[in-house]
């Protein structure tokens, strides 16, 4: 008999109910009880939908108020002192760790937040300190199991496994080794609790295993599970991996007493080979992740069945998703604006449940009518083709990816042409998106004000912010991005080849959700997108105003990509589109153009050996294609969020931008050593203060930062700017901080 399973389900609700309730709770507009009630409803609805679709292994505890790593940290009492002393309720302690706390009980910075593997989801980094006492509190996990049970649904409890939990944690003034035994103890107790409650299946999520794994890590993994599994009693344990294959640990995994092993056949290139080479133990269940949990396209049954039939003699197959469905939107059922022909191609989370059930039937009954029907959808698939774009991409030659003259010569030319002062000041692009700006955009979208009125409003805001930047003495100005909702959606909406859902929200972190555009065909830029407003902004001042674009890699990484062509080919098309915009801006008299690559690193393969061949070798040229044809005197800037690029520093230099700005203030400026060591050539603007915090830095504080930057880098190479766009800040926060930034720069120069 063949069954089905999923790893996790979206938890934000149909129309982001959890987000809105949580935000109300933050503002103390609803009580804990009311918030809990919203959460309970979402969980029940999710279970019901899964039951309706005959899912055999329905997860519980995949729900979270903020993040599952944070849930596990609280379950294990990994709560740093700074939160304990606040003496808040359990839920408020949880939110304090997630978002920081500033109030009557004290002041505590939030835990660090990091990207969850190669997704746009972010997890909170548990923080161990010498005083940390690992103490299990399994109440909430068991409560969720019982909640489902009371509703007549037997679930598999889902938790982050000990190996991944430890590997992703931070150890402050202590080491991982010190906590291995307490962690073993806590997880062992947890298994005993499950046993006592007659929980039939527990899923241990261990995605960290898909990384390159060395001997010491394998030893840790083996030690943890050898001991913990002794306590499983009659509870079955599923080791669940995702986001890749487990080539380094497969032979170890199959030798442990797991009852089921979950493997990813979508992103795991080697998964099938591993099974063929080393076999799969007869006594274990194979949870085969064959339905893509990360993308929104329908599953092609014929291909999936081929994979399943290619499996070596496995006794019991559970058809599953490749990863949690939290990375796709909930359902296409509420979408009213997309044509049927388009919608038919998509499977969001709920539709993926239907796919699992159909695959199960097709596989176990050899039911070909389902397969044929599914195949028809692919035969009729007409993703918008654009032959001229395809041809343009085909005809590209090496030369198209190289800008002339080389950077060092451009630098002299630009110095003469732009005549910027030493330590030039600038910002990253956006100014505060006030509720007034958002409201006016809504009015416009709803047709309550017309195009002319809306443009006038945008122009007025732009003119005002230009004037203000001039007044406080910034050197290179920006137009403020008041016309943009989101840096990717804005371009997606104006480029040919994208479609948009109405409710396709995906959690990015906490209450923040994104609605990724869907690349539905060949991408082309038909008309200029930013040129008119850039020209207007430039006409308001004698200083330079930066043109502001989003780069091809970031547009791709924050969209749902096609599966019928490679992401490389899509990126090249995007690069050609943005290249046209760059050239039009240049023609319109814009001398400095910033091409943001905020998400450059996002799809960097998780295994180092694939970094270049599968990603950087075409990502970096794609960026160069965007600007390779501009004149020597046009200055190209780029911006990246996060400074995590020490290990790809050469590639960043190879983007061949003239100036790069990046986040540095939160990483203790350690990136500066790396720049120096690697003889980094590009001019740099290491953000001198953190825009993610409402705090206004003093000018003295910023001066110190600038001083330490100058200890590492020659003064001619340095720009002074905040570490990201100011969109999420209030007007006073943004203005006061920039004012102090300029004062700091001026003081440094005077000395």
Contact residues toward ligand GLN (CB under 6 A) are 428-430, 481, 487, 548, 596, 598, 639, 641, 724-725, 727
Which distant-in-sequence residues (6+ apart) come within 8 Å of 719 by Cβ?
Answer: 423, 424, 425, 426, 659, 661, 683, 684, 685
Q: Using CB under 5 A, which of the segments 293-301, 327-335, 384-392, 636-644 binds Zn ion? A: 636-644
Exposed (0-12), middle (13-18) or buried (19+): which is 448, by Cβ within 10 Å?
Answer: exposed
Instruction: Give whichever of 161 and 725 is closer to ligand GLN, judged by the CB atom.
Output: 725
Does residue 42 bind Zn ion (CB under 5 A)?
no
Does residue 487 bind Zn ion (CB under 5 A)?
no
Does residue 724 bind Zn ion (CB under 5 A)?
yes
Q: Cα-Cα-Cα-Cα dihedral of 560, 565, 566, 568, to 10°?
A: -90
Does residue 664 bind Zn ion (CB under 5 A)?
no
476 token code pair: 């290179």
Known catalytic membership, residue 404:
no
Question: What's the min distance (Å) between Cβ of 489 and Zn ion?
Answer: 16
Q: Which does 596 bind (CB under 5 to 8 A by kind): Zn ion, ligand GLN, none?
A: ligand GLN
* Residue keyed to tokens 């799969």: 280
Instruction: Give whichever of 126 and 551 is closer to ligand GLN, judged by the CB atom.
Output: 551
Question: What's the min distance (Å) between Cβ of 600 and Zn ion?
Answer: 11
How far is it, in rounded angstroms, from Cα 332 to Cα 330? 7
Question: What's the min distance (Å) between Cβ of 433 and ligand GLN?
Answer: 9
| Nearest C-alpha neighbor of 162 from the set 143, 140, 190 | 190
Instruction: Give whichever of 166 and 691 is closer to Zn ion, judged by the CB atom.
Output: 691
Instruction: Give whichever of 323 and 506 is closer to ligand GLN, judged by the CB atom.
Output: 506
Q: Which does 429 bind (CB under 5 to 8 A by kind): ligand GLN, Zn ion, none?
A: ligand GLN
Q: Which does 572 bind (CB under 5 to 8 A by kind): Zn ion, ligand GLN, none?
A: none
Long-range contacts of residues 213-219, Cβ cutoff 8 Å, at least 24 apart: 213/248, 213/249, 217/167, 218/248, 218/249, 218/252
Question: What's the min distance (Å) between Cβ of 554 and ligand GLN?
Answer: 8
Question: What's the min distance (Å) between Cβ of 724 and Zn ion?
Answer: 3
Comparing every residue's Cβ against ligand GLN, the nearest one is 725
499 token code pair: 């479609």
Q: How many residues of this chain bind Zn ion (CB under 5 A)?
A: 3
The only residue of 111, 600, 630, 641 in contact with Zn ion, by rule CB under 5 A: 641
The total number of residues shown for the chain amounts to 751
How far is it, in rounded angstroms, from Cα 515 to Cα 492? 12
Exposed (0-12), middle (13-18) or buried (19+): which is 516, by Cβ within 10 Å?
Answer: buried
Cβ(661)–Cβ(719) under 8 Å?
Answer: yes
> DSSP secondary-structure letter at 405?
S
* Residue 22 CA neighbour count, 13 Å, CB half: 23
Question: What's the min distance (Å) between Cβ of 645 and Zn ion?
Answer: 13
Instruction: Give whichever of 274 and 671 is closer to Zn ion, judged by the CB atom.
Output: 671
User: What is the CA 266 to chain-centroid distance, rounded?
Assistant: 19
Task: State the distance between the two ends of the chain, measured CA to CA, in whole angstroms.
Answer: 79
Q: Using CB under 5 A, which of the segments 301-309, 360-368, 535-543, 639-647 binds Zn ion? A: 639-647
Exposed (0-12), middle (13-18) or buried (19+): which is 445, by Cβ within 10 Å?
Answer: exposed
Q: Which does 203 bind (CB under 5 to 8 A by kind): ligand GLN, Zn ion, none?
A: none
Instruction: Give whichever of 572 and 660 is closer to ligand GLN, judged by the CB atom.
Output: 660
Label the pairing between strands 170-171 and 127-128: parallel
Q: Which does 147 bind (CB under 5 to 8 A by kind): Zn ion, ligand GLN, none?
A: none
Which distant-in-sequence residues (6+ apart) come within 8 Å of 739 by Cβ?
Answer: 472
Question: What's the min distance (Å) between Cβ of 430 and ligand GLN?
Answer: 3
Q: Using CB under 5 A, which of the segments 135-143, 430-438, 479-487, 724-732 binds Zn ion? A: 724-732
Q: Which does 487 bind (CB under 5 to 8 A by kind): Zn ion, ligand GLN, none?
A: ligand GLN
Q: Which does 266 bind (CB under 5 to 8 A by kind): ligand GLN, Zn ion, none?
A: none
Instruction: Give whichever of 188 and 530 is closer to ligand GLN, judged by the CB atom.
Output: 530
Which residues in 597-616 contact Zn ion (CB under 5 A)? 598
Instruction: Give whichever of 71 and 481 is closer to ligand GLN, judged by the CB atom.
Output: 481
* Residue 500 CA neighbour count, 13 Å, CB half: 12
Which distant-in-sequence residues (6+ apart) come within 8 Å of 279 by Cβ?
Answer: 312, 313
Question: What's the min distance (Å) between Cβ of 413 and ligand GLN?
Answer: 25
The mark string for 426-465 relative to Zn ion (x by CB under 5 A, - otherwise) is ----------------------------------------
Give the H or E element holding residue 59.
Answer: strand 58-60
Q: Which residues, listed in sequence order, are joined to residue 320 by a DSSP beta bridge?
A: 289
536 Ramachandran zone, left/alpha/beta (phi>0; psi -120 to 50): alpha
Instruction: Give whichever of 167 and 643 is closer to ligand GLN, judged by the CB atom.
Output: 643
Does residue 549 bind Zn ion (CB under 5 A)?
no
- The one catalytic residue in 443, 627, 692, 712 is 692
How far is it, in rounded angstroms, from Cα 331 to Cα 344? 12
How far is it, in rounded angstroms, from Cα 441 to Cα 47? 37
Enumerate the active-site residues. 692
Contact residues for Zn ion (CB under 5 A)? Answer: 598, 641, 724
């Amino acid at each position: 008999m063949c069954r089905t399973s999923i790893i996790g389900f979206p938890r934000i609700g149909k129309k982001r109910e959890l987000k809105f309730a949580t935000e109300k709770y933050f503002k103390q507009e609803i009580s804990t009880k009311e918030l809990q009630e919203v959460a309970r409803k979402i969980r029940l609805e999710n279970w019901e939908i899964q039951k309706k679709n005959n899912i055999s292994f329905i997860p519980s505890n995949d729900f979270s108020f903020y993040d599952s790593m944070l849930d596990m940290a609280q379950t294990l009492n990994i709560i740093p002192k700074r939160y304990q002393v606040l003496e808040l309720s359990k839920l408020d302690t949880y939110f304090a760790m997630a978002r920081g706390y500033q109030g009557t009980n004290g002041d505590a910075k939030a835990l660090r937040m990091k990207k969850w593997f190669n997704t746009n989801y972010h997890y909170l980094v548990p923080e161990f300190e010498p005083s940390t006492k690992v103490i299990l509190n399994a109440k909430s996990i068991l409560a969720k199991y019982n909640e489902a049970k009371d509703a007549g649904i037997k679930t598999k409890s889902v938790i982050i496994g000990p190996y991944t939990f430890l590997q992703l944690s931070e150890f402050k003034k202590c080491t991982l080794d010190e906590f291995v035994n307490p962690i073993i103890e806590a997880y062992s107790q947890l298994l005993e609790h499950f046993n006592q409650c007659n929980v039939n299946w527990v899923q241990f999520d261990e995605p960290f295993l898909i990384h390159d794994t060395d001997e010491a890590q394998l030893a840790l993994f083996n030690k943890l599970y050898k001991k913990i599994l002794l306590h499983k009693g009659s509870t079955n344990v599923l080791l669940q991996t995702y986001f890749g294959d487990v080539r380094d640990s497969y032979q170890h995994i199959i030798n442990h007493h797991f009852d089921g092993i979950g493997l990813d056949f979508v992103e795991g290139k080697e998964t099938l080979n591993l099974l063929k080479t080393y076999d799969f133990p007869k006594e274990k269940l194979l949870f085969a992740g064959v339905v893509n949990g990360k993308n929104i396209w329908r599953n092609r049954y014929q291909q999936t069945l081929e994979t399943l039939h290619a499996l070596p003699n496995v006794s019991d197959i559970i058809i599953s998703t490749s990863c949690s469905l939290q990375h796709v939107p909930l359902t296409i059922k509420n979408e009213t604006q997309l044509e049927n022909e388009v919608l038919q191609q998509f499977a969001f989370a709920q539709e993926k449940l239907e796919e699992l059930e159909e695959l199960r039937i097709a596989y176990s009954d050899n039911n070909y009518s389902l397969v044929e029907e599914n195949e028809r959808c692919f035969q009729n698939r007409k993703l918008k083709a654009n032959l001229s774009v395809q041809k343009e991409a085909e005809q590209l030659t090496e030369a198209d990816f190289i800008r002339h003259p080389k950077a060092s010569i451009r630098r002299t030319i630009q110095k003469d042409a732009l005549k910027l002062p030493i330590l030039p000041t600038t910002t990253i692009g956006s100014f505060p998106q006030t509720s007034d700006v958002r409201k006016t955009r809504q009015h416009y979208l709803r047709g309550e004000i017309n195009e002319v009125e809306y443009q006038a409003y945008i122009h007025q805001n732009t003119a005002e912010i230009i004037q203000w930047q001039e007044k406080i003495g910034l050197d290179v100005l920006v137009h403020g991005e008041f016309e943009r909702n989101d840096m990717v959606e804005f371009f997606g909406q104006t480029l040919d080849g994208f479609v948009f859902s109405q409710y396709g929200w995906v959690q990015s972190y906490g209450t923040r959700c994104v609605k990724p555009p869907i690349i539905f065909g060949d991408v082309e830029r038909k008309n200029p997108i930013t040129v008119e407003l850039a020209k207007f902004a430039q006409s308001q001042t004698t200083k330079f105003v930066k043109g502001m674009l989003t780069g091809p890699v970031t547009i791709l990484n924050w969209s749902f990509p096609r599966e019928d062509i490679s992401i490389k080919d899509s990126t090249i098309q995007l690069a050609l589109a943005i290249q046209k915009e760059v050239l039009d801006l240049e023609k319109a008299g814009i001398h400095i153009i910033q091409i943001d690559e905020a998400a450059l690193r996002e799809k960097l393969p998780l295994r180092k050996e694939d970094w270049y061949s599968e990603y950087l070798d075409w990502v970096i040229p794609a960026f160069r294609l965007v600007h390779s044809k501009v004149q020597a005197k046009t200055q190209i800037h780029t911006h990246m969020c996060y400074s995590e690029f020490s290990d790809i520093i050469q590639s960043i230099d190879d983007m061949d931008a003239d100036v790069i700005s990046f986040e540095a203030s939160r990483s203790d400026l350690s990136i500066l050593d790396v720049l120096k060591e690697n003889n980094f050539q590009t001019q740099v603007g290491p953000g001198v203060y953190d825009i993610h915090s409402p705090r206004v830095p003093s000018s003295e504080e910023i001066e110190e930062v600038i001083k330490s930057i100058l200890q590492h880098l020659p003064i001619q190479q340095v720009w002074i700017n905040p570490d990201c766009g100011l969109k999420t800040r209030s007007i006073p926060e943004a203005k006061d901080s920039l004012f102090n930034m300029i004062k700091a720069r001026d003081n440094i120069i005077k000395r």
